[in-house]
Structure 1
Amino acid sequence: MVSTINGTRGCPSPDDIIADIVALEDVGAGAPLRHFGSFSGAIYDTAWLSMIKKEEQGQPRYLFPECFEYLLAAQQEIGVWGSNNAQVDVILNSLAALLALATRQRSTLPQSPESSKLQARIERGQAAVQAVLQNWNVQDSVHVGFEILVPSLLIQLSAWDIAFDFPGYSTLMQLNKKKLQKFKPATVYSTQSTTLLHSLEALVGLIDFDRVGHHCKEDTGIFGSPSATAAYLIYSTTWDQKAESYLSTVISSTGGTGHVPSAYPTCLFELGWSLSTLLTPRVSSRALNALEKDQLASRFERALEAQSGLVGFTPGVLEDADDTARSLMALRCLDKSQSARRLIEMFQTADHIRTYRLEGSPSFSANCNVLLALLGEAEGALDQENIEKALAFLLELQESGPIHDKWNMSTQYSRMLFVQVSVLLLEKYNAGHVDLASKGFAGRIPGAICRLLSQTLSEQKPNGSWDDSLEITAYSIITVGYALSLPWSAALKDQLRDSIRQGQDYLQAKYSNPDKTDFLWVEKVSYRSELLHSVYCSAALHFQVVDVPWTPSIADGFTLPQGSMKKTQYLVSSLPLFRGAKFASMELVLVEARLMAARLNSFRDSLFSRSEIPMTADKYLEFIPMIWVTCNHKNGQRLSYKTMWEMVLLSLLNFQVDEYMESVVASVPEAGISQLMDLLKQQSKSASMAATNSNHKLTNGSSHADANTSTDLQKDTQVHAAFNALSRFMQHVTQHWSLTRSPLPIQHEMSLEIYNFIAAHNEHNLANALLATRKANGNGAHSANGTSSTASLQPQQQSYITWVRGPASDDTSCPFSFLFFACLISDAGKHCYAGARAQYFAKALCRHLATMCRMYNDYGSATRDAEEGNLNSLDFPGFRDGEYQENGIGGTGAEVNGDGVGATTNGAMNGHAGTGISPAKDSLMALAEFERAGMELAREKLSAVVPRRVMEQLQVFIDVTDMFGQVYVQKDIASRVTRANGVKA
Structure 2
Amino acid sequence: MDLNILAKQLINELVERCHSRYGFSSMTCTVYDTAWVSMVSKPVEDTRVWLFPASFESILRTQIPNGGWNEGTIETDSILDTAAALYALCKHRRDYKEDDLEGRISSAAHFLTKRLNKMDLSGILPSLLKIREQKLARIDFDKIYRGAKSSILHSLEAFIGEVDFDRLSHHKVVGSMMASPSSTAAYLMNCSTWDDESEEYLRYVVETKSGTRTGDVPSAFPSTLFETSWVLSTLLESGFTEDDLGPSQLQKVKKYFMESFTSGSGLIGFAPLLEADADDTAKGITMMSLLGVPISVSPLIERYSDGEKFRTYSNEITASISTNSNVLTAMCMAPLENRHRPAIEMVVKFLCETWWKNSHNIRDKWVRPDPADISLHKYLGLYDKDYIARRGGKLQPRRFSGVSATLHDAVIVLFQSLSFLLVAQREDGSWQGKRESTALAVITINIVASLPIVRPLLGQVKTAIDNGCMFLSRNLESKPERIWIEKVTYGSQYISDAFTLAALRYSDQDFVTNLETSVTGTLDAILKPLKFFRQLPMFSCTPEWSTVASLIEGSLFESLLRKACFEVFPDNLSGNESHFSFIPFTWTSGNNLHSRPLTPGIMLEMMIISALAYQMDEFIESKVAKLSIESVKSLRKSVMQLFDEVISKTPDVLVKNAGPLPSDSLELHQVCGVFKAFISYIWYAPYNRIATQNSRAQLRIAVEDFLIAHLTQTEDNYYLARQSRSEQLNRKFLQPPKSSLLDWVRTTSGDHTAGPFAFTAFISMLGNGTDCLNSPLAKYVAQDVSRHLAALCRLYNDFGSVTRDMAEGNLNSVNFPEFGAELEIAKKDLLRIGEYERRCLNQSLAELRPLVDEAVFASLQVFCTSADMYGEMYVIKDLTPAIK
Q: Distance in 1 between matches of 2:235 and 2:3?
A: 18
Alignment of 1:923-942 (within 5 A): 923-942=829-848
1:439-454 aligned within 5 A: 439-454=404-419
Give the aligned length.
Answer: 873
User: 1:660 maps to what in 2?
Assistant: 619
Paired residue for 1:887? none
Give distance in 1, aligned partners of 2:312 and 2:662: 58
Tell me the SS of whatever aligns to 2:523.
coil
Could you say which residue in structure 1 is the equivalent of 2:779?
Answer: 839
| Residue number among 17, 20, 27 corresponding to 2:13 in the alignment | 20
**In the alignment, does 2:133 pair up with 1:192?**
no
Match of 1:974 in 2: 880
Q: Distance in 1 between matches of 2:372 and 2:387?
A: 22
Q: Which amino acid aligns with 2:31?
A: I
Q: Do structure 1's residue 772 and structure 2's residue 721 form an aligned pair?
A: yes
* 1:568 positional shift: 2.4
| Distance (Å, rounded) in 1 between the aligned partners of 2:556 and 2:125 | 45
Q: What TM-score do the two structures reach when normalised by structure 2? A: 0.93
Aligned pairs for 1:349-748 (under 5 A) are 349-379=306-336, 383-401=340-358, 402-411=360-369, 413-415=371-373, 417-419=375-377, 422=380, 425-426=383-384, 428=386, 435=400, 438-487=403-452, 492-512=457-477, 514=478, 518-543=481-506, 545=509, 548=512, 550=514, 554=517, 557=520, 560-561=523-524, 565=527, 567-582=528-543, 585-611=546-572, 618-686=577-645, 690=647, 697-698=648-649, 702-703=651-652, 708-709=657-658, 716-748=665-697
- Tell me the alpha carbon deviations over residues 521-550 of structure 1, each in whole angstroms, 9 at most, x when there is no partner: 110000011111111111111225476575
Amino acid at match of 1:578: F
Give the Cα separation in 2 of the matches to 1:9 and 1:58: 60
Counterpart residue number, 2:266: 309
**Superposition CA RMSD, Å:** 2.9
Q: Structure 1 residue 455: deviation in Å?
A: 0.7
Matched ranges for 1:250-269 at <5 A: 250-254=205-209, 255=211, 256-269=213-226
For residue 161 of structure 2, give the secondary structure of its aligned residue in structure 1: coil
Partner of 2:846, secondary structure, is helix
Question: In the TM superposition, what whole-angstrom CA distance separates every residue of 1:815-873 from its partner, at most 9, and x where no partner exists?
Answer: 11101111112122x12112201111111111111111111111111111000000000
Q: How far apart are 1:15 and its partner, in Å?
A: 2.2
SS of aligned partner of 1:444? helix
In 1, distance between residues paired with 2:181 and 2:653?
Answer: 67
Secondary structure at the counterpart of residue 713 of structure 2? helix
Residues 11, 534 of structure 1: 8 Å contact kept = no
1:66 corresponds to 2:59: no
- Per-residue deviation, 1:85: 3.4
- Contact 1:379–1:433 under 8 Å retained in 2: no
Q: What amino acid does structure 2 have at the position aligned with 1:129?
A: L
1:819 aligns with 2:760: yes
Give, as a single letter, the amino acid of the residue that structure 1 aligns with 2:626: S
Aligned counterparts of 1:617 and 1:370: Cα–Cα separation in 2: 41
Aligned-residue offset at 1:789: 2.5
TM-aligned CA distance change 1:489 to 1:725, over 3 Å: closer
CA-CA distance at 1:79 after TM superposition:
1.6
SS of aligned partner of 1:55:
strand
1:133 aligns with 2:110: no
Partner Cα separation in structure 2 for residue 367 and residue 609 of structure 1: 38
**Residue 886 (structure 1) aligns with:** none
Corresponding letter in the other structure for 1:878: E
**For 1:331, which of 288, 296, 303 is the aligned residue?**
288
In structure 2, distance between residues paired with 1:344 and 1:182: 22
Quote how far apart the aligned CAs of 1:373 are.
0.8
Kindly provide the CA deviation profile for residues 462-497 of structure 1, in whole angstroms up to 9, marking residues without a partner as x. Answer: 111111111111101111111233335765223222
DSSP 3-state at the match of 1:757 = helix
Deviations 1:543-593 (A, max 9, x none): 254765757x635749611x762x522222211122323476333222122
Task: Write the distance in 2 (CA, Å) between the matches of 1:364 and 1:820.
Answer: 29
Deviation for aligned residue 1:709: 4.9
Offset, 1:504: 1.3
Gaps of 5+ in 2: 390-396
TM-score, normalised with respect to structure 1: 0.84
2:498 maps to amino acid? V
**Residue 84 of structure 1 contacts residue 526 of structure 1 at CA under 8 Å; is this kept in 2?**
no
Give the aligned residue type for 2:586: I
CA deviation map 1:77-131 (0-9, x unaligned): 22211246311100000000001001111445xxxx63x4111111211222222
Match of 2:233 among 272, 276, 295: 276
CA contact (8 A) 1:85 1:526 kept: no
Partner residue in 2 for 1:229: 184
Contact 1:85 1:519 in 2 (8 A): no
1:79-98 matches, within 5 Å, as 79-83=67-71, 85-98=73-86
C-alpha distance in 1 between matches for 2:729 and 2:561: 40
> Are the counterparts in 1 of residues 630 and 662 from structure 2 also a CA contact under 8 Å?
no
Residue in structure 1 matching 2:747, options 806, 809, 821: 806
CA contact (8 A) 1:134 1:167 kept: no
* Structure 1 position 447, deviation (Å): 2.2
Equivalent pair of 2:456/2:548 in contact (CA under 8 Å): no
Identity fraction in percent: 29
The verdict on how the C-alpha distance between 1:633 and 1:790 changes in structure 2, with shifts beyond 3 A counting, is: closer
Distance of 2:731 and 2:49 partners within structure 1: 104
How far, CA to CA, are the matches of 2:54 and 2:4 in structure 1? 32
8 Å Cα contact 1:400-1:641 kept in structure 2: yes
Change (3 A) 1:753 1:855: same
Q: Is the 8 A contact 2:412 2:556 kept in 1?
A: yes
Structure 1 residue 49 and structure 2 residue 49: aligned? Answer: no
Larger relative helix fraction: 2
Secondary structure of 1:944's counterpart equals helix
SS of the aligned residue for 1:605 comes to: helix
Kept after mapping to 1: 8 A contact 2:796/2:874: yes
> 2:174 matched to which residue of 1?
218
Going from structure 1 to structure 2, the CA distance change for 1:9 and 1:127 (only over 3 Å counts) comes to farther
Q: Is the CA contact 2:733–2:816 (under 8 Å) kept in the aligned structure 1?
A: yes
- Within a 5 Å distance, the mapping from 1:940-951 to structure 2 comes to 940-951=846-857
Are the counterparts in 1 of residues 8 and 246 from structure 2 also a CA contact under 8 Å? no
Instruction: State the 1:283 CA deviation.
Output: 3.7
Deviation of 1:12 (Å): 6.5
5+ residue gaps in structure 1? 1-7, 29-33, 138-164, 691-696, 782-786, 882-890, 892-916, 979-985
